[in-house]
């Protein structure tokens, strides 16, 4: 069928979320922030005291997740958890639960259901390799670890959280190493992905590059 999909994969704090949301806005497409599903699963596990290494238990939670998406806000069990999902500890826990194949399977259908007309922009780690292998444009977005740690730091400070750049850099490098080395859907560029290093680009420049690639493919 012909519902267009653009995938944006890449490491932590590379700016995938912002880029995906700006590209979706420019094209009038739907948006899937797949990381938020792993984060919601992690938060549910935290709340119900299911240990991250209990694959079966976490997969059961993921299957039964009661999520509502509404205008860039997310509700879990009827409660707005948008801010809570962005917490650093939730992100780290998400990277642990996301390593389980059964957890990934449990979230697959939900991710596919975001593909609706007029089109979808999906960001994550395996959007182009596993979930939407047919996507017409696959971007692998990177930035240096220093740049990413700085951006994450700014983000946290602006939200009133305190944070230390070298701790953040360590956390994100640990998370990326785990995401790259796991056997279930490891983070890697799809064979037909185009790479974009945005360390020295503004958000607007990155958006324009992706839109230009998209135009070439029409
Ligand atoms: O992108 P974000 O930081 O929100 O993702 C949180 C964690 O969820 C990542 O570190 C990664 O382990 C996991 N994830 C994944 N596959 C995706 C999206 C996120 O494994 N498609």
DSSP the chain: ----EEEEE-STTSSHHHHHHHHHHHHT-EEEEHHHHHHHHHHHHHHTT--TT-HHHHHHHHHT--EEEETTEEEETTEE-HHHHT-HHHHHHHHHHTT-HHHHHHTHHHHHTT--TT-EEEEESSIIIII-TT-SEEEEEE--HHHHHHHHHHHHHHTT----HHHHHHHHHHHHHHHHH-SSS-----TTPEEEE-TT--HHHHHHHHHHHHHHT-
Q: Is the pLDDT of residue 57 over 90?
A: yes
Confidence label for 110 from pLDDT (cuts 50, 70 and 90): very high
In the structure, which protein residues have their CB atom closer than 6 angstroms to any atom of ligand 1? 12, 34-35, 38-39, 91, 94-95, 98, 124-127, 175, 179
- Taking CA atoms only, the protein residue closest to ligand 1 atom 19 is 35
The pTM for the full model equals 0.95
CA of 35 to the centre of ligand 1 (A): 4
CA of 171 to the centre of ligand 1 (A): 13
Q: Is the pLDDT of residue 1 over 80?
A: no
User: What would the mean pLDDT of 14-25 be, rounded to a whole number?
Assistant: 96
CA of 47 to the centre of ligand 1 (A): 19
User: What would the mean pLDDT of 40-55 be, rounded to a whole number?
Assistant: 98
Rounded distance between C-alpha atoms, residue 54 and residue 97, angstroms: 9
Which domains, and CATH codes, for the chain?
5-216 (3.40.50.300)
Q: Which among 20, 52, 98, 188 is the best mutation to test ligand 1's pocket, defined by most ligand atoms within 8 Å of the CB?
A: 98
Q: Which among 5, 20, 35 is the best mutation to test ligand 1's pocket, defined by most ligand atoms within 8 Å of the CB?
A: 35
Q: Are 20 and 8 in contact (CB under 8 A)?
A: yes
The fraction of the chain above a pLDDT of 90, given in percent, is 90
Predicted ipTM? 0.98
pLDDT computed for residue 159 by the predictor = 84
Q: Which among 13, 20, 32, 34 is the best mutation to test ligand 1's pocket, defined by most ligand atoms within 8 Å of the CB?
A: 34
From residue 177, how far is each of 52, 58, 96, 107, 188 by CA, in Å? 18, 22, 11, 22, 11
pLDDT computed for residue 145 by the predictor = 95
pLDDT computed for residue 54 by the predictor = 98
Per this entry, what is the length of the chain? Answer: 218
pLDDT computed for residue 161 by the predictor = 84
User: What would the mean pLDDT of 192-206 be, rounded to a whole number?
Assistant: 97
| Mean model confidence pLDDT for the chain | 95
| Residue at token pair 């009038």 | 28
Ligand 1 atom index nearest CA of 38: 8
pLDDT tens readout for residues 61-109: 999 999 999 878 999 999 999 999 988 899 989 999 999 999 999 999 9
Q: Is the pLDDT of residue 155 over 90?
A: no
pLDDT computed for residue 71 by the predictor = 74
The lowest-confidence range among 52-61, 62-71, 119-128 is 62-71
> Which residues sit in the known binding site for ATP?
10-18
User: What would the mean pLDDT of 171-180 be, rounded to a whole number?
Assistant: 92
pLDDT computed for residue 70 by the predictor = 84
């Amino acid at each position: 069928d012909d519902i267009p999909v653009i995938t944006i994969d890449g490491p932590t704090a590379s700016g995938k979320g912002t880029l995906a949301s700006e590209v979706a806005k420019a094209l009038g497409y739907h948006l899937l922030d797949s990381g938020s599903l792993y984060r919601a699963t992690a938060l549910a596990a935290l709340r119900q005291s299911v240990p991250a290494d209990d694959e079966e238990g976490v997969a059961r939670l993921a299957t039964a997740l009661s999520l509502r998406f509404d205008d860039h806000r997310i509700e879990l069990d009827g409660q707005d958890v948008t801010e809570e999902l962005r917490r650093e500890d939730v992100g780290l826990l998400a990277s642990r639960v996301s390593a389980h194949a059964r957890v990934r399977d449990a979230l697959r259908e939900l991710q596919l259901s975001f593909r609706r007309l007029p089109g979808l922009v999906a960001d994550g780690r395996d959007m182009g390799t596993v979930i939407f292998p047919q996507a017409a444009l696959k971007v692998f977005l990177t930035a240096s670890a220093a740049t990413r740690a700085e951006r994450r730091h700014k983000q946290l400070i602006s939200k009133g959280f305190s944070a230390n750049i070298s701790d953040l850099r360590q956390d994100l490098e640990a998370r990326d190493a785990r995401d790259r080395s796991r056997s279930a859907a490891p983070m890697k560029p799809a064979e037909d992905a185009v790479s974009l290093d945005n360390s020295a680009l503004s958000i607007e420049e990155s958006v324009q590059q992706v839109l230009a690639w998209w135009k070439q493919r029409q």
